[in-house]
Structure 1
C-alpha cells in the first residue's frame, strides 16, 4: 500500500482533501481515523475480491463459523499490523502531528460480543485468514452492544452501547444479497406425486440484510469475510393491507418487532418476551446464514450430496443449533430431498463446540414457544426426537431411563445441546479437562453412544493482537533475540527458554514490564485520579463477573489483607495493586452486589493513609477488548481462580501468560495444560481439584459454616459484610453475598479454598522479592505460550474436524 512514510503522507493528505474538504491542519482525530479506515478498505478491496474468486475457482472446502458473538474489538491497529504498515503509518502520522494511539482511541469497540466465547470467535477468524484457510464468520449486526458500564456510588449502571452511532468504516452493506426469514404462520401438509409436501403459510416475513466486514490475514493478504446480518422490515407502508385507522400502528408495530431482532446483544430473557426475542435472534442468524451459504455452494454447480465435501458449518456453542433443523427444512421442503438423504447431508456438514459444563447454561426452550414461532422447524425437531428415541428403545430395550435422559424434547422443554450433538459429526470441548468432564459426566450417555464424535480442541488466542499489537516492545525484543519466524510459527517462542538465565535479557524483560505498568498507571490516574505504584505487584482479575469465577474470593482476601495491615501497621509488606474489571449481567443481582463490594473495599483501602505503599484496589469500569490490551501487558499476576471443573477453558489465562504474567489459579480449564508445560515452579496453584468438587456435589461432606467457625480470618471478613464498619455502611448491606456463602452452603467453595488461596498469595509476595527469579519464570511463561496460539488451534480444527486445506497463492487464479 505504502512503500514509505513520505508516500503515505502524500496519499493521506490528498484523501483528506478529496473526501472531507479539509487540510491536515483542520482535521479532527475522528477525521484522521475515518480516512485511515477508508484508505485500508479501498486498498484491500481487490484482495478481498481475489480471495473470494480464488475460493470459487479452486473449489476448496469452506468453513462457516456461526456464532452469536464476535468480540472483534478495534480493527484499525490490528489491520495495519496484519498489512505490515503499522510502523510506516505510525511514523507518518507523527510527522503530520498525530499520535496513532490517540487515533485508535477514536474507534469504538464493536458491540458484537461479551466474553470469551465471542473473543475466541474473533481470534479464530484472524487465524483462518492468516493461515490461508477459506473460513468466514456468520453473526448478527447488533445495533447496541451488551451495555456501557458506569460505576455510580459503587454500583454498576448500564447505559446503551451505541457503537454504531458514527457508522462503521469497516463494513460494506450488501443490500442486493438480502434474504427472507420467516416466523409464525402455520404448515399445510399435502400430497404431490406420491410425496408429502409441507407448505408454510400466513407467516411473517422480514429481511436479513448482510453487512460484510473484511478479515485481513497477516502477511499474505488473504481477506476472508465476517458477514453480519441486520433485521429490516420486509413490508413497505404503501403495500401493507389497510385496516382502517389501525393500519399505520400495525405497520409500526411490525417494523419495531422486525428491527428489534438485531437491536440488542443478549436482550433480557428473564421474561417471556425476552426469551422469545432471543429465540428469534437465533433462528434469524441460522436461517439467513444458511441460505447465504447455500447460495454460494450452488454457484459451484455441484449436486447437494457434495455439500459436506465443500461446506463445513460450525456452531459456536448451542446458540446457532437451529442450523440443524433449518438445513433439514431447506433440503426437504425447498430442494426435494427425502428425510434420510437430508439427514445424511446435514449430519455430515455440521460440527459443534460445547463451551460449558454448567447445567443452567445448557440452553432449553419452551416447546410451545418453538412450536408457535417456528412451526415447520418444530415439526422437524419433533421428528428428529421421535426417530432418535425410537432408536434408543430398539437398541437398549432394558434402558428405559436413557430416553428421558437423552431426548431432545423432554416435558415442555427443547434441549438444544442434545440436538446439537445428535445433528453434528463432531463435538469438541475446549480444554482437556473440559472434554473429559463432558465425556464422563455432563454428556456421558451421548459419549457412550457416539464416542467417535467427541474430541478436544483447546482454545487459543491470536498472538498478533495479544502480543505483537498489545505489547510491541516485548514483541520486538523477542524478534531481536530469536528472529521473526515465531510470528508465522508461534511454537518457535520455545526458543526463548534458552534466555531464562540470561541477566541482560531478564533485565530487558523487567524494563518492558515496568514501562507497560507506567502506561497503565497513567491511564488509571487520568480516568480515576488514583496514583498507583508501578513497583507494586499488579495483581489482575479481569473477566465476566460470575460466582464460579470467584471474584468474591479475591476481594474477601483483599479485605483480610486490609485487616492484617491495620492489626500490624509496622510490618514490612510487598506492595500490591489489585485490579478488577468485569461486567455483570443486568439481572444477575449477586454479581452486581460483588461489584459493589469491590468498589466499597477500593474506596476504604485507597482513602486510608495506613495503606499507602502497601495496598491499592482498582475497579476499572467498562471492561472491553481495548481496555484489556492496556491491562494485560502490565500485569504481574494473573488471577485464574475459578472453581475447578467450572471454567471450560479460559482464554484470559493464555493472554496473561503470553505477556509474561504469572498465574495464580486452580487446576481448571486450560490452567491444567498450562501446568503440564510450566510445572509447579512457574505458576502458583491452590484449591480443590475437579474430582474433589464432583465428590462434594455427589456425596456432600462440605459445610461452609464449619469453615466460617473454624477460621477467624474468614469469620471476620464475612461478619464485616453484615455489620456496620469499614466495609458496610448499613446493616446487611451485602446480605445477598453473605447468604450465598453461609445460607446456601457456598456453591462454588469460596471458603473451602480461601486458606490455600491466602497461603499461595503469601508465596507470591516472597517470590516477587527475587526480581531475577521472577523475570525468569516470566520468560518461561512467554516461551510456552505459543502452544496456545489460535493458529495452532485452527490447524487442529482444520485437520481433525473440518478437513480443509490452505488455499494456494491468489496469483495462480
Structure 2
C-alpha cells in the first residue's frame, strides 16, 4: 500500500471514501507499524476498526458532554451478559458509512467480506438474555436515551463448541486472544470492590448507630468502554465492562526469595472474578465465584453511577430523579442492598430515607417462570462473602414481614414471600428481593407477565398490584434486517423508503404488495439467494451439501429440554420412516438445521445433541432418503451464525412447552426476515399471532391452561405411546439403538424420561399435533404464491417487535426518561 498522504486530507474526521481509505493506511503504518509486505488480515481489519473509532470519538465525547450539561436523567442497565456479536457492520451502518467503507477497503485491494469475517464474536452471553441486552443498547442510543450498559469483561466468553463423534466438546472462547480494538481501557475508572471481613457497630457523634465493613479483601474493577452509536443520529452511548485486577500488586518479597508462584498467586485469584462467563443460563447453581461476579458488577457500577451523580448534585434525594437502574434478571439484584449500604454507611442516611431512594430507583426484569432458574443464595455463603449486605437483607426481610403481617397475609403466604427463607439452611431469594426493593417489576411478554402474577409471584402481585408491568421484548431492525439481510432490506426501502429502520411500524405498508407479482417474486428470489449463501457456507465449513430448493426448517437456540429440540428430531425420524416405507411418497424436500449450545453440566441436553447428530448420520447417508431429507447440526452457534441462518429460513421452530418460554426473540427475527413460524402458544408467539393473524402462523399443541388441567388429572405418556403407531416406532428406534448401533443403550435416558419419568415437557402429548401441523406446513409450501403472501404478511406486521418500541415502553412505564430521537 502506498502511504503518501495529501496534506489537504483530514482522514480522522472525513466521511468520504478518500479520507476513509487514507486513514486505514495511516493506522496500518503508524498505529500497527506494518506495511503491505508483512500485514495480515487481522492487521487490515484492525486498521479499519481504528478508522471507524476515529469517526466515533468526537460524537462519543459530545454525547456525554451534552448529557452532563443537560443534567439528563440516566439509565443504568446492569446485565451479566451482552451478546454483541461482531461490530464492524453494525458500527458502519449506524454511522451511515457501510458503502463508503466497502469502497475504500476495496480500493486498497482488500475484500470487505473477508475483513468482516476476520472479526471474532464477543461471546459475552449465553443466549437470549445477552442478545436482548445488546439490542436494547442499540435502541437506547438510537432513541437518544442517556444510558450506559454495565457488565463484566470476561476473559473467556461462552465456550467454543466442537462436535466430536456427535458429542458436544467445549473449548475456551479466546475472544481476547489478539485484543479487542473496539474497547478503550479507562485507567482512572478503577474502583475498589470489597469481600469477606466483618461488620462493626458504633455510635457516631450524634448518637446514631453506624456500621462499618472492616478487614475486607479488596479487588479492583477496571473499566473498558465500547462505544454504542445510535442509528445515524450523532448519539454515542457506552457499554462499560469491568475487569478484575489485583489490589495488592506484586509480592516482591516472595519473588526475591525465589517463589514466583506465591508472588502472583493472589493476583491470579482476584483476576478469576472476571475470568469466565458461567455457561448455564437456566439452572441456578450456587457457586461462590458466581456470587462474587454478581457483587463485583453491582458494586463497581453503582460506585461509578454515584460518582457521576455527585459531580453534579449534592442532594441525595434527587437520585430517583437522576438515576434509573434496571436489573436484567435476578443476577444484579444485589444492587438493592448495595445502594442501601452506600446511602447508610457512606452517606450517613437513616434507613427510611435510604429505602425510599432505593425503591424509587431500582427496577427488576424477570426472565423466567422456572423455579430452578431463580437464584437462592445460601445465607451461610452470603454472610461469609458479604456480611454487611446479609445484615441489610435480613433487615429488609424483617421490615417487609411486619408490613405484610399487618396487611393480613397468612403464615403460609408470609413464608412464600420472605426474602430470607425460614429453614435450617436458610437462603436469600433474589427474585423476592428484587420485587420488594424495586419500583417496577416487568415480565418480557404479555403471557409471561400474566403468568408471573398468577404463579411464582402471585402473592406479591396481590400485595403490590401497581408494581408489576409488562414490556414485551424486541429486536433491533438495524442488525436483524438491515445488516443481516441486505437484499430484503433494499427491496423494502425501494418500495416504502428507509424510515422503517427507526420506525419499524412503517413495515405495515409492505402488506400493500402481497398481491404484487413482481414484489412476491423478488421476495422469493432474495430468500433463495440467502438459502444458497447458507448452503455455500455449510459446504465450505462442513463439507456437506444441502439443497437450497428444499424447505429450510431451522431451530436455533440454547439446547434445553423445554425448548424441545427432541420433538423436532423426532419429526425428522417420522419423515424418514415414511420415506423408507414408501420411497415414492410425495414429501416436499426438507432440510432440518439445528444449532445451539448445551450447558457443559447439562447431561440430558448434551445427549439430545448426540441424538440429533446420530439421526443425521443415518438419514444423510441413506440413499433412499438423502435427496429428500437432510438433518444437520451446525456447531458453535453464535450471533454471526444466526445472521447467516435466519435470512435463509423458510420455517422457524418455536416449539417450547407452553408456559416455559418467557418471550423468545429468535421468533421475532425469523418472522421479520420472512420465515413462517411453527410454534406453541408460548412467550411472544402469542403476540406474533395477534400481529400477523392466525392464518399466517402454524400454531399447535397444548395451551398453558390445558397443560395445567392435564397435570392435575394425571398425564399418561405411555398410553399416548401405545396408541400412536408412528410415535411408537420413533421411540422404539431411539430406544433399541437403531441410531446408535455401536451403543444400543445410549439413548435410554431419553426414552426413560419420556415413558417412565413422566415426560415433564410433554413431548409425547404434543407430538401428534406437531406432526400434523408440519404436514400443513408442507401443503402450504407447495403453493409458493400462498407461502410468499404469508411471508410478506409476517414481515409487514413485525413493527411491534422492534426493540425501539420496547425501550419506549421502558422509558414510559418504568424509567420516567424522555426519548430524544434525532
Residue aligning to 1:396: 408
Counting only pairs closer than 5 Å after superposition, residues 254-273 of structure 1 correspond to structure 2 as: 254-266=266-278
Asked if residue 667 in structure 1 is aligned to residue 678 in structure 2, the reply is no
Counting only pairs closer than 5 Å after superposition, residues 226-265 of structure 1 correspond to structure 2 as: 226-238=239-251, 252-265=264-277
Q: Distance in 2 between matches of 1:267 and 1:130?
A: 30
Asked if residue 526 in structure 1 is aligned to residue 540 in structure 2, the reply is yes
1:469 to 483, 494, 507: 483
TM-score, with structure 2 as normaliser: 0.96
> Contact 2:734–2:747 at 8 Å: present in 1 too?
yes
Residue aligning to 1:488: 502
Residue aligning to 2:750: 737
User: Judging changes above 3 Å, is the alpha-carbon distance between structure 1 residues 95 and 248 closer, same or farther for their aligned structure 2 residues?
Assistant: closer
2:212 to 192, 199, 210: 199
TM-score, with structure 1 as normaliser: 0.97
Q: Distance in 2 between matches of 1:510 and 1:808?
A: 35
Return the offset for 1:502.
Answer: 0.6
Tell me the SS of whatever aligns to 1:805. Answer: coil
Q: Deviations over 1:500-531 (max 9, x none)?
A: 11111000000000000000000000111111
Q: Deviations over 1:292-326 (max 9, x none)?
A: 00000011124110000000000000000000000
Q: Distance in 2 between matches of 1:510 and 1:798?
A: 38
Tell me the SS of whatever aligns to 1:151. Answer: strand
Residue aligning to 2:796: 783
Residue aligning to 1:49: 61
Q: Deviations over 1:324-363 (max 9, x none)?
A: 0000000000000000011000010001100001111111
1:320 to 321, 332, 335: 332
> Contact 1:392–1:402 at 8 Å: present in 2 too?
no
Deviates further, 800-809 or 378-387: 800-809
| Unmatched 5+ stretches in structure 1 | none
Tell me the SS of whatever aligns to 2:122. Answer: coil
Counting only pairs closer than 5 Å after superposition, residues 81-120 of structure 1 correspond to structure 2 as: 81-120=93-132
Return the offset for 1:252.
Answer: 3.6
Counting only pairs closer than 5 Å after superposition, residues 573-722 of structure 1 correspond to structure 2 as: 573-697=587-711, 699-722=712-735
| Unmatched 5+ stretches in structure 2 | 1-12
Deviates further, 273-282 or 219-228: 273-282
Residue aligning to 2:472: 458
The two structures, once aligned, show a CA RMSD in angstroms of 1.9
Residue aligning to 1:433: 447
Asked if residue 125 in structure 1 is aligned to residue 146 in structure 2, the reply is no
> Contact 1:267–1:277 at 8 Å: present in 2 too?
no
Q: Deviations over 1:23-79 (max 9, x none)?
A: 456532211110011111122111111111111100111001000001100111100
Deviates further, 585-594 or 554-563: 554-563
> Contact 1:55–1:807 at 8 Å: present in 2 too?
no
Return the offset for 1:694.
Answer: 2.2
Asked if residue 408 in structure 1 is aligned to residue 419 in structure 2, the reply is yes
Return the offset for 1:794.
Answer: 0.5
Counting only pairs closer than 5 Å after superposition, residues 556-571 of structure 1 correspond to structure 2 as: 556-571=570-585
Residue aligning to 2:391: 379
Return the offset for 1:6.
Answer: 3.3
> Contact 2:184–2:225 at 8 Å: present in 1 too?
yes
Return the offset for 1:717.
Answer: 1.1
> Contact 1:111–1:142 at 8 Å: present in 2 too?
no
> Contact 1:798–1:804 at 8 Å: present in 2 too?
yes
Tell me the SS of whatever aligns to 1:68. Answer: coil
Q: Distance in 2 between matches of 1:555 and 1:576?
A: 13
Residue aligning to 1:74: 86
> Contact 1:722–1:728 at 8 Å: present in 2 too?
no
Residue aligning to 2:10: none
Q: Deviations over 1:196-229 (max 9, x none)?
A: 1111111100100011111111111201000100
Asked if residue 765 in structure 1 is aligned to residue 800 in structure 2, the reply is no
Asked if residue 347 in structure 1 is aligned to residue 355 in structure 2, the reply is no
Residue aligning to 1:163: 175
Q: Distance in 1 between matches of 2:213 and 2:260?
A: 26
